[in-house]
A and B are shown apart, each in its own frame.
Chain A
Amino acid sequence: MVRIRNLYFGYSKRVPLFQDLSLTLERGRIYGLLGKNGAGKSTLLKNIVGLAFPVAGSCEVLGQPAARRLPSVLADLFFLPEEVDVPTVTAARFVEHTAGFYPKFDHEALARYLSEFEVPAHAVLSALSFGQQKKFVIAFALAANTSLLVMDEPTNGLDIPSKVQFRKIVASALSDERCVIISTHQVRDLESLIDTVLVLHGQRIVLNADLGELGERLRFGSVPEADDTALYAERTALGAQVIRPNHGGVPERVDLELLFNALVSEAPALAHYLTQNQPAHESVL
């Protein structure tokens, strides 16, 4: 679906944002892209959808270079930016003139999503609040039924009930043919949604792993005092939160926030452990 090889990119030649970044994304998965502010999450997504061009290396989507922005590729790809732009027309008119560009567009699904999000179909889009506009575009993006759906900070600007609806709707819209990438810095918004986590840090992808496999290999918990078995420990008011090897084999719930903190602080023990026992999927550290 998405194949990035040895990507070099930077807005300035002296300050590269990515160096030798490689990444493969497959159908049937919901990827959560995590990274600190300024790590380049949005820029990576722009490279994937063809809004930014690699300085070196390649970025292919559906077998074509993303930078060519071929109509056949764009018709099977939808990008939801963090800040959406809507024209001064009603939602119904926008759908009438735009849905035709997406061959697999599902009008019934759109009506259902709009109803769940409580977005009026006949309102002028530019007159809606930012949150309502965003919900409309999310509904349209999901109804477009494209094989690749890329969302940059989709929950920004949504109220709490809408975030819950968002997770529910995205989960229901996933199929074996679709690949969804969601970038966020609000880790908790993704916890019950994604099945694969990508962590972007230090100009490259430092983790690309299935959450189920991570849960089988790592244990997350709180302890009064961290001991030597901890791969990573983070002090809290009541003791410490730790990541330890999961020797029992019983799948554990992955604490994404703790895992993310461990990866961006470059915990050597965790890095060594994950590198030693790479899961079959594609884990990089």
Chain B
Amino acid sequence: MSQSFNFVRFGRLFRKHTAEHLRGYLLATAVLLGGIGLVLGYVAYLNTQAMSASAQAIVFIMGLLSSGAFFTSTVLAPFGPPRQATSALLLPASHWEKYLVAWLYALPIFVVVYTGCFYLMDALVLQLDDWAGPKPDLVPLFSGQEKLYTGLMAYAVLNAVFLWGSIYFTKQQFIRTAFGVLLGLVVVLVLNFQVVQALVGRKVESVLPFSGLVLREGKAIESLDLPPGQGAWLVLVPVGLMLLGWAGAYARLTEKQI
């Protein structure tokens, strides 16, 4: 029997995790349904027109990122407190299997459940909306116009960061990770600004990491952008961050001590 991955052992671990968390997950799904319904209902109530596809898309993406980050913070949390961590770490399954169960719940399963909940509540709210005109359409998940799939990609990156936070911190994982992310962003932005200004040797109006910069020369404002061919490489930054977060979370699990 493989010491890294075995389907029978993984299935057993997945069933155990599901059985022990089912009640909590069902309650969380009910809260998610209620939350999405409230926000969509409030938006529909405030709108004097039918709810637009872009309004639905904003609610979808904001809800996915916020609830997803919160949920992801819980999936490896049992490895934090010593009492829980003892039984979790010593359960006869490999680190990889334990990690994979958490990852599956935090990413694919969560996305499926969230998407299902969103469309259920969205359809209900659009149906109940007493807008006199024709009923608006549900926002499509895969369309070139609203690009909801970009929200899914953004969630994958956020998931990696919060998955790492859920194993790195031993308590208050969501708050600590969110604080760390904000602090990290501020530090990166400030350092990036200072470094670019020192490199350029002129007053920089604004600059973001991995992007062009805006320079001010007297009253004139100049913009300096990356060559079009190189801009496409920027997509590697979130992908790299995502892979780093997942690998970091796994490494942290294998090194976890009590």
The interface of chain A, by Cβ under 8 A from chain B, is 46, 49-53, 69-72, 74-75, 77-79, 81, 83-85, 87-89, 93, 96-98, 100-102
CB distance from B48 to the nearest CB of A (A): 47
Are B92 and A85 within 8 A (Cβ)? no
CB distance from B74 to the nearest CB of A (A): 14
Can you list 26 A-B contacts (CB < 8 A)? A46-B257, A46-B258, A49-B90, A50-B89, A51-B86, A52-B257, A52-B258, A53-B255, A69-B95, A71-B9, A71-B92, A71-B97, A72-B1, A79-B86, A79-B90, A81-B83, A81-B86, A84-B83, A84-B87, A85-B87, A89-B19, A93-B19, A97-B16, A97-B20, A98-B91, A101-B93
CB distance from B59 to the nearest CB of A (A): 33
Q: Which residues of B contact A53 (CB under 8 A)?
A: 255, 257
Are B20 and A89 within 8 A (Cβ)? yes
The listed residue (A51, A83, A102) touching B92 by CB distance below 8 A is A102
Interface residues of B in 1-51 (CB under 8 A from A): 1, 3, 6, 9, 12, 15-16, 19-20, 23
Give the 4 A-B residue pairs with the shortest CB-CB distance, closest first.
A74-B92, A75-B92, A97-B16, A85-B83
* B94 on interface, CB distance cutoff 8 Å: yes
CB distance from A2 to the nearest CB of B (A): 15
Q: Which residues of A contact B9 (CB under 8 A)?
A: 71, 101
Are B20 and A70 within 8 A (Cβ)? no
A-B contact count (CB 8 A): 70
Are B3 and A100 within 8 A (Cβ)? no
* B84 on interface, CB distance cutoff 8 Å: yes
Are A97 and B92 within 8 A (Cβ)? no
CB distance from A65 to the nearest CB of B (A): 12
Q: Which residues of B contact A69 (CB under 8 A)?
A: 89-90, 95
Are B258 and A51 within 8 A (Cβ)? yes
Q: Considering the chains assembled together, what is the distance between the CA atoms of A83 and B83 in angstroms?
A: 6
Nearest residue in A to B18 (C-beta to C-beta)? A97
CB distance from B63 to the nearest CB of A (A): 28
Q: Considering the chains assembled together, what is the distance between the CA atoms of A101 and B91 in angstroms?
A: 8
Nearest residue in A to B87 (C-beta to C-beta)? A85
Q: Considering the chains assembled together, what is the distance between the CA atoms of A83 and B87 in angstroms?
A: 11
Nearest residue in A to B86 (C-beta to C-beta)? A81
Are B84 and A50 within 8 A (Cβ)? no
Interface string of B80-119 (1 = CB under 8 A from A): 0011101101111111010000000000000000000000
Are A74 and B86 within 8 A (Cβ)? no
Q: Which residues of A contact B91 (CB under 8 A)?
A: 74, 98, 101
Are B86 and A71 within 8 A (Cβ)? no
Interface string of B247-258 (1 = CB under 8 A from A): 000000001011
Nearest residue in A to B95 (C-beta to C-beta)? A69
Q: Which residues of A contact B23 (CB under 8 A)?
A: 88
CB distance from A138 to the nearest CB of B (A): 14
The listed residue (A51, A52, A88, A101) touching B12 by CB distance below 8 A is A101
Q: Which residues of B contact A78 (CB under 8 A)?
A: 90
List 6 other contacts, CB 8 Å, given A49-B90, A71-B93, A97-B19. Answer: A51-B90, A70-B3, A71-B9, A71-B92, A72-B3, A97-B20
Q: Considering the chains assembled together, what is the distance between the CA atoms of A77 and B87 in angstroms?
A: 12
Q: Considering the chains assembled together, what is the distance between the CA atoms of A100 and B20 in angstroms?
A: 15
